Amino acid sequence: MWSLAWPWMLLALPLPFIVRKFLRAAPGGQDAGLKVPSLSGFQVLADRSEVEQLVNWRLWVAVIAWLLLVLAAARPERIGDELDVPVSGRNLMLAVDLSGSMDAKDFELANRRVDRLTATKAVASDFIGRREGDRIGLILFGERAYLQVPLTLDRETVKTLLLEAFIGLAGEKTAIGDAITLAVKRIHDQGAAGAEQVLVLLTDGANTAGEIDPLKAADLAQQIGLKIYTIGIGAEQMVVSSITGGTRRVNPSADLDEETLTKIADLTGGRYFRAKDTAGLQEIYQLLDEMEPVAEPEAGFRPVKSLYYWPLGAAFLLALLLVIARILEGLEWRRALVPVRTVSSDAP
């Protein structure tokens, strides 16, 4: 469907005719006289019909250019078909641990042993791709917490920047309290009134750095209505080589502070999850989809494409054509007047 954003601009169409009718013409000077021995040099002026045709041609081009210019000012638009756009109004922050312990290779992905961060990237990327309609942000934390992506509907950018993260980017320790506080600040600054606020925090350790205690940060989150889902990641046992050449079983998640993570979730109305392997991590994110469902499609959005530049460009081209015609006409007059300036040597 075609439409005009500013149809009232069409009222300017008769403006040149109004100006010509009611404004007085500029007073002209006295016509100059020139004595010449012959009229042969003025042959271009003899044919009055050709001059009138030239004037009429330029007049019509000017009229068309003016019509196109006014049409461009009215901003023609093409309105597309109605689209179903899901908009949940939910603000969803992801906080991912990048501390040194995330380098432990106790997860499997595609039948190969990978570190915890690699498994997290794969599963969280799929989760982000399914969150259509949510405004998603990304916080990366280690010894310090950084806002990598502010709340946005651009899920592809969030996925790309998550995949580009690497272990140690934010330091070797873990500042869980600072990550929660940063999420509280950003959601409070950017969050829409009445929107549902959610933070999904993934870590494999305990709070060993930062200035804010995790439980105090959770209390701040509870005050602004931020619901926190915490995920403790890491296998319960792992076979490693011993110094003597044999093997032994160790608990790679011995430092995981499940008690604090559970308290954080309970205080804010969320829930604590334990991911011991890749399959368990996938199940957790699928469960989060069920607990925080994406929005149902809502009709009412029509894409609008502005097309004003087409008539505007055509008007400028016609104006350029008039300028070129005026220049060529001047050159033609000069060539016609050349014989007048020539004086014979036999003249008395």
pLDDT score at 21:
79
**In 10 A of CB 22, how many CB atoms?**
7
- The domain segmentation of the chain, as residue ranges, is 2-20+37-80+304-341, 85-299
Residue 294 DSSP code: P
CA distance 155 to 294: 13
DSSP-derived secondary structure letter, 209: S
Q: What angle do CA 221, 296, 197 make, to 5 degrees?
A: 5
pLDDT at position 255 over 70? yes
pLDDT band at 23; cut points 50, 70, 90:
confident
**Residue that the structure tokens 């109605």 belong to:** 82
Q: What is the DSSP letter of 104?
A: -
Residue 242's pLDDT is what? Answer: 60
pLDDT value at residue 29: 52
Backbone angles phi, psi at 162, to 5 degrees: -65, -45
Handedness of CA 4, 5, 6, 12 (dihedral sign): negative
- pLDDT value, residue 60: 86
Give me the percent of the chain exceeding a pLDDT of 90. Answer: 38
The residue among 55 and 129 whose pLDDT is bigger is 129
CA–CA separation, 205 vs 176, rounded Å? 9
Highest mean pLDDT among 21-30, 45-54, 191-200, 309-318: 309-318
DSSP 8-state assignment for residue 255: T
68 pLDDT higher than 80: yes
Q: Which two tokens stand for residue 211?
A: 């200035």
Q: Is the pLDDT of residue 147 over 80?
A: yes
Residue whose C-alpha is closest to residue 256's, from 199, 189, 176 = 176
Q: What's the length of the chain? A: 348
Question: Percent of the chain at pLDDT above 70?
Answer: 76
User: What pLDDT sits at residue 110?
Assistant: 83
Look at 111-115, 192-196, 282-286 and tell me which has the smallest mean pLDDT.
Answer: 192-196
pTM over 0.85: no
**For 52-63, how does the pLDDT look when each residue is reduced to its tens digit (9 = 90+)?**
555 577 888 888
Q: What integer is the mean pLDDT of 74-93? A: 74
Q: What is the mean pLDDT of residues 193-221?
A: 88
**Record: fold of 85-299:** Rossmann fold (3.40.50)
CB 146 within 8 A of CB 140: yes
**Residue in this structure with the two tokens 């075609």, named with its chain if needed:** 2
What pLDDT was estimated at residue 347?
A: 47
Residue 41 has pLDDT above 90, yes or no: no
Phi, psi (rounded to 5 degrees) for 119? -65, -40
Res 342: pLDDT: 47
Is residue 310 within 8 A of residue 316, CB to CB? The reply is no
Strands 197-203 and 91-97: parallel
For the chain, state the CA radius of gyration: 38
Q: Of 204, 234, 221, 233, which Cα lies nearest the Cα of 270? A: 221
Phi and psi for 235 in degrees, rounded to 5? -70, 160
Secondary element (H or E) of residue 157 = helix 155-163
Confidence of residue 199 (pLDDT cuts 50, 70, 90): very high
Taking only the tens place, the pLDDT of each residue in 213-251 is 999 999 999 998 999 999 999 888 766 566 666 666 667
**To 10 degrees, the CA torsion angle through 60, 65, 66, 68?**
130
DSSP conformation letters of 176-236: HHHHHHHHHHHHHHHPPTT--EEEEEEESS---S-SS-HHHHHHHHHHTTEEEEEEEE--S
Q: How much is the pLDDT for 322?
A: 86
CA angle at 188 for the pair 186 and 194, rounded to the nearest 5°: 130
